[in-house]
A and B are shown apart, each in its own frame.
Chain A
């Protein structure tokens, strides 16, 4: 019999849903612009630019919403990464995903009210939310206003460095999204984690 814990309050579900839509839009429009081709336009260029810019702006606001929310609610504690014994914990979770899961072993770090994420999740979420996303947001705004930001700090030549960073980090965010969505299917059932995003209740194995 599976157990249900209320883990995802309404504000997190709202933030997460909006974040998911925006990041998917940003990936699609970003790839379309990066590989724009007159013969085979994926999304019309000007449309892709406008959608990408608008999504990026809303994502920024949403990111601050997440930061403030995590600061004023207990949600922030889930992102406090304890370095001590981290490699061993990461390895344990990794071994579970690569071997244990196929042998139907119990997850080494079951979801509880105190620990929402397993070590691998916590580690990648910290990297994504506190390293990749801020960099991609900053470089994105710099590309929106190259006159103001880039020429000031890099005397004009910074635009290509900035673009390079934006594109590379964008690729990593995309990889994260693919794996993140796939890992969502690893739950009590194939769809239980997707249901949790709506109901707020986490269903354990």
Chain B
């Protein structure tokens, strides 16, 4: 006891100092980060003053008159969405040229090459678990890439100014589904955007999926990519979009104990280990219900035993009736 006490008092100050240091360093680094974010937001305000709204104003240096012009739709940044996006803490000039600081912007800046996801996220230890390299390979194999080559890039689906990852948040699956499907519908339900990349007529999604029972229910509860992308174990969200002929059409791919939803839609939650004992695919049970995929082991077993007892009872009764029948 004495020995323990001496050791404790001897080591206490060291531990205490380390603990205080860690707390101080962490709070300093958090504070530094917060300050930097606030500074960046203030800096971005200079750009958003024009790009954050549908019109912008300037003084014509020749005439000295104030001019109001409409901002091109593609160059408008939605402030609210940007403030919630993954890239919210970046400065505009982290990705765009610092020369944008001047107005009118120099014409050569139009030729500025834009970053792809992999330029920042590839080969970085911090993002290793997301396996961006694999995502890039999967995307290269997808119809989006093979059919449209260079014209189709990450930004087509993941707008860098608004995109946010929500599968890891506590949002409901249904909200995640709506958010993710909106990305597909952005082009697949908009003829003008769709025809930016092809001359084909955009297929009518409702009509194309007429074969699908309970269509509206499926659309609200399942992401497009569940059936249209090939799942890959090493990445969280499948990026290998398949040609329509290869889309999942067999109901039992989802409606069975080996439901592919467990490898796609519910993958993150499965990895979190939120399954319930006794239930197959218990994760789905938290928010949804998939016939054939949600089963209870004990209920199945009990029903089998009861079916067995009923059958045995009938068999015994029938046999006795035959044996004891009037001769």
Q: How far is the CA of A179 from the CA of B299 in the complex (A)?
A: 21
Contact A41 B252 (CB under 8 A): yes
CB distance from B278 to the nearest CB of A (A): 12
Option from A44, A146, A171 in Cβ contact (under 8 Å) with B289: A146
Q: Is A153 an interface residue (CB 8 A)?
A: no
Contact (A182, B317) CB under 8 Å given A38-B252, A146-B217, A175-B307? yes
Per the bound structure, the CA–CA distance linking A39 and B277 in Å amounts to 25
- Identify B253's interface contact among A35, A38, A102, A160, CB under 8 A: A38
Those of B294-327 within 8 Å (CB) of chain A: 294-296, 299-300, 303, 306-307, 310-311, 313-314, 317-318, 320-321, 324, 326
- Complex contacts, A179 vs chain B, CB 8 Å: 310, 313-314
A33 pairs with B255, CB closer than 8 A: yes
B306 engages A36 (CB within 8 Å): no
Residues of chain B with a CB closer than 8 A to A104's CB: 324, 326
Check A38–B256 contact: CB distance below 8 A.
yes
* Residues of B241-299 whose CB lies within 8 A of A: 250-253, 255-258, 285, 287-289, 291-292, 294-296, 299
Contact B252 A45 (CB under 8 A): yes
A45 near B251: Cβ-Cβ < 8 Å: yes
| B213 at the binding interface (Cβ < 8 Å) | yes
- Chain B residues with a Cβ closer than 8 Å to the other chain, count: 35
Please tell me if the beta carbons of B307 and A160 are within 8 angstroms of each other in the complex.
Answer: no
Complex: A175 Cα to B304 Cα, angstroms: 11
The secondary-structure label for the interface of chain B is helix
Taking CB atoms, residues of chain A closer than 8 Å to B287 are 156
Q: Evaluate whether A45 and B292 lie within 8 angstroms (CB atoms) in the complex, with A38-B252, A175-B310, A179-B314 already known.
A: yes
Q: Is the CB of B299 within 8 A of A45?
A: no
- Asked whether, in the complex, the Cβ of B320 is within 8 Å of the Cβ of A102, the reply is yes
CA distance A140 to B257 in the complex (A): 22
Quick one: which of A147, A167, A168 has the most chain B CB within 10 A?
A167
Say how far A145's CB is from chain B's closest CB, in angstroms. Answer: 9
Within 8 Å by CB of A34, from B289, B295, B324, lies: B295
What residues on A are CB-neighbors of B288 within 8 Å?
159
Is the Cβ of B303 less than 8 Å from the Cβ of A36? no
Contact (A36, B291) CB under 8 Å given A41-B252, A146-B217, A179-B314: yes
Contact assessment for B292 and A36 in the assembled complex, using a CB-CB cutoff below 8 Å: yes
Chain B residues 77-106 with CB under 8 Å of chain A are none
Asked if A95 is at the interface of the complex by the 8 Å CB criterion, the answer is no
Known A171-B303, A175-B306, A179-B310; judge A34-B292 contact (CB<8 A): yes
Compute how far the CA of A80 lies from the CA of B10 in the bound complex, rounded to whole angstroms: 86
Q: Which of B251, B300, B307, B321 has the most CB of A within 10 A?
A: B251
Task: Say yes or no: A182 contacts B321, CB within 8 Å.
Answer: no
Q: Which residues of A contact B313 (CB under 8 A)?
A: 179
In the bound complex, residues from chain A placing their C-beta under 8 Å from that of B318 are 182, 185
Evaluate contact between A36 and B320: CB separation under 8 angstroms. Answer: no
A178 interface residue, CB < 8 Å from B? yes
A4 at the A/B interface (Cβ < 8 Å)? no
Q: Tell whether, in the assembled complex, residue A163 and residue B294 are in contact, meaning their CB atoms are under 8 Å apart.
A: yes
Task: List the B side residues contacting A102 at CB < 8 Å.
Answer: 320-321, 324
Point out the residues of chain B lying under 8 angstroms from A175, CB to CB. Answer: 306-307, 310
Interface membership of A46, Cβ < 8 A = yes
Distance between Cα atoms of A146 and B221 in the complex (Å): 12
- Find chain B residues with CB under 8 A from A159 CB: 288-289
Pairwise interchain contact A37-B252, C-beta atoms closer than 8 A:
yes
- A120, CB-defined interface residue at 8 Å: no
Known: A46-B213, A160-B294. A182 touches B256 (CB 8 A): no
Do A163 and B307 have beta carbons less than 8 Å apart?
Answer: no
Which residues of A line the B interface, CB within 8 A? Answer: 33-38, 41, 44-46, 49-50, 97, 101-104, 146-147, 156, 159-160, 163-164, 167-168, 171, 174-175, 178-179, 182, 185-186
Could you give 12 example pairs across A and B, Cβ below 8 Å? A33-B255, A36-B255, A36-B292, A38-B253, A46-B213, A147-B216, A147-B217, A160-B289, A163-B289, A168-B299, A171-B303, A178-B311
| The 8 residue pairs across chains A and B that have the minimum distance between CB atoms | A36-B292, A45-B251, A102-B324, A38-B252, A159-B289, A182-B314, A171-B303, A36-B256
